[in-house]
């Protein structure tokens, strides 16, 4: 298939112009071909940027038209000559002023959006990276502790700017989290349930799927021990009871719920939608079914709908792990044995809490 044909197929897919069978076949290709999946995500992002640029141009045209219709100089004369200029201006131009005010509010929101102040996707779609920025004084103090502890050989702590969650994927120090949590990080640390902190490095990432794989590089780290959960390859059915644990706070927090849709935000086939309480800091946490199988990675929530969260499907995690070059991984063996099945929720949490970590990110 030529590049033009591929682009045409992607556009038909994103525009909803494919038949049900065509869409099913295309999604199978996306699951099998990492490069195709990336191209779909990149094209969706590109189309959104074009659309947003067009909206900004249209906004400018409307503002210019309103400016032309309202005689600014005559209003200035009214201000000087007539004390009741406000009443006169409102009577003569109230409809235009109302429209201009509405557009101005919209323009402010657009500015916040394009500068990244609101979020980096949609107004009602928020990725769950927790901001735990400290003052410069606090950072310097904590950095001193880092240096002191390193010299003492007792591990590391991190003066983080941002917080997320991660969980172990092998016993020898590999951890997965969301890409948006560690993007552009100068250093990344993970903190275990018992308070131990370890320095890590990002060895591989899939930005299109919002997945990053970390490896603990701290000399104080030995091993996690056998991972108690397994990773589910097949899709999970709607209505399945699920739960997540993570670090929206400084302590580990359970989020029970159920799977509400087999696709994510705006029909994204790489995600699930789940009804479970999540907050900033939950990003990168595991989503598990009732038997304790990992079925996804929490990465976002819908801000206008209470309890509506999204998780990248575990099949994309497994694909990311397969794509890691051998030169970057050392005996990264994914666990296939689940010891959580048959346990109640309390027992499941106790078994897995030592394998779920607070991810702290430090940016200069």
Judge whether 162 lies within some domain.
Answer: yes
Give me the pLDDT at residue 350, please.
96
Half-sphere exposure of residue 287, counting CA atoms within 13 Å on the CB side?
A: 34
Q: How many domains does the chain have?
A: 2
Judge whether 257 lies within some domain.
Answer: yes
* Span between the terminal Cα atoms of the chain, in Å: 45
Q: 135 and 62 in one domain?
A: no
Q: 150 and 28 in one domain?
A: no
Q: 217 and 362 in one domain?
A: yes
pLDDT digits (tens, 9 = 90+) for 172-215: 999 999 999 999 899 999 999 999 999 999 999 999 999 999 99
Q: 285 and 151 in one domain?
A: yes
Q: 361 and 262 in one domain?
A: yes
- Residue 176: which of 297, 94, 12, 288 has the closest Cα? 297
Question: Rounded mean pLDDT of 73-82?
Answer: 47
| Listed residues 46, 68, 90: the one ending a domain | 68
Long-range contacts of 86-92 (CB under 8 A, 24+ apart): none
Q: 348 and 254 in one domain?
A: yes
Q: Is 127 in contact with 165 (CB distance < 8 Å)?
A: no
Residue 329 DSSP symbol: -
- 138: domain CATH number is 2.40.10.120
CA 138 to chain centre: 27
Whole-number average pLDDT of the chain: 79
Give the integer Cα–Cα distance in Å for 291 and 270. 22
CA dihedral angle for residue 331, residue 227, residue 202, residue 254, rounded to 10 degrees = 170
Judge whether 95 lies within some domain.
Answer: no
Give me the pLDDT at residue 302, please.
83
Judge whether 107 lies within some domain.
Answer: no
- Residue 134: which of 112, 152, 157, 153 has the closest Cα? 157
Judge whether 268 lies within some domain.
Answer: yes
Q: 7 and 136 in one domain?
A: no
Give me the pLDDT at residue 202, please.
95
Instruction: Give kind and range of the element (H or E) at residue 356.
Output: strand 356-362
pLDDT of residue 85 exceeding 60: no
pLDDT digits (tens, 9 = 90+) for 98-142: 555 556 556 555 555 554 444 444 446 666 666 554 434 444 444
Give the integer Cα–Cα distance in Å for 149 and 195. 14
Give the integer Cα–Cα distance in Å for 105 and 111. 10
Task: Tell me the C-alpha to C-alpha distance, in Å, between residue 293 and each of 83, 269, 287.
Answer: 74, 20, 8
Q: 242 and 159 in one domain?
A: yes
Judge whether 113 lies within some domain.
Answer: no
- Domain housing 130: 126-364
Q: 241 and 142 in one domain?
A: yes
Number of H helices, E strands in the chain: 9, 15
| Listed residues 68, 90, 112: the one ending a domain | 68
pLDDT of residue 239 exceeding 90: yes
Q: 191 and 330 in one domain?
A: yes
pLDDT digits (tens, 9 = 90+) for 278-334: 988 999 999 999 999 999 999 998 877 777 899 999 999 999 999 998 888 878 888
| Listed residues 68, 88, 103: the one ending a domain | 68
Q: 147 and 61 in one domain?
A: no
Q: 272 and 192 in one domain?
A: yes
Give the integer Cα–Cα distance in Å for 123 and 305. 12
Judge whether 111 lies within some domain.
Answer: no
Judge whether 176 lies within some domain.
Answer: yes
- Residue 354: which of 219, 191, 241, 222 has the closest Cα? 191
């Amino acid at each position: 298939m030529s590049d033009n044909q591929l682009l045409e197929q992607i556009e038909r897919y994103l525009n909803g112009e494919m038949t049900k069978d065509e869409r099913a076949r295309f999604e199978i290709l996306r699951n099998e071909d990492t490069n195709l999946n990336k191209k779909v995500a990149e094209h969706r992002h590109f189309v959104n940027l074009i659309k947003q640029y067009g909206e900004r141009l249209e906004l400018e045209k409307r503002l210019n038209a309103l400016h032309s219709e309202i005689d600014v100089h005559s209003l200035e004369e009214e201000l000087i000559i007539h004390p009741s200029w406000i009443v006169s201006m409102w009577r003569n131009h109230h409809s235009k002023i109302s429209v201009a005010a509405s557009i101005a509010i919209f323009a402010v929101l657009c500015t916040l959006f394009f500068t990244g102040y609101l979020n980096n996707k949609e107004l009602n779609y928020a990725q769950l990276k927790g901001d735990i920025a400290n003052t410069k004084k606090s950072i310097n103090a904590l950095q001193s502790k880092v240096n002191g502890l390193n010299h003492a050989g007792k591990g590391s702590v991190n003066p983080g700017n941002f917080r997320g969650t991660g969980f172990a994927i092998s016993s020898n120090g590999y951890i997965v989290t969301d890409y948006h949590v560690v993007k552009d990080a100068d250093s990344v640390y993970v903190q275990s349930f018992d308070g131990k902190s370890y320095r890590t490095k990002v060895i591989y990432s899939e930005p299109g799927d919002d997945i990053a794989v970390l490896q603990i590089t701290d000399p104080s780290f030995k091993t996690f021990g056998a991972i108690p959960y397994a990773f589910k390859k097949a899709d999970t059915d709607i209505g399945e009871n699920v739960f997540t644990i993570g670090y929206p706070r400084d302590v580990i927090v359970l989020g029970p719920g159920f799977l509400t849709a087999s696709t994510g935000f705006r029909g994204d086939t790489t995600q699930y939608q789940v009804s479970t309480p999540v907050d900033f800091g939950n990003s990168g946490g595991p989503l598990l079914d009732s038997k304790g199988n990992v079925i996804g990675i929490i990465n976002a929530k819908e801000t206008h709908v209470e309890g509506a969260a999204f998780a990248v499907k575990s099949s994309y995690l497994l694909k990311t792990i397969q794509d890691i070059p051998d030169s970057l991984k050392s005996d990264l063996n994914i666990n296939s044995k689940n010891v959580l099945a048959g346990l109640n929720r309390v027992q499941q949490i106790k078994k897995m809490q030592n394998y779920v970590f607070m991810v702290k990110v430090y940016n200069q």
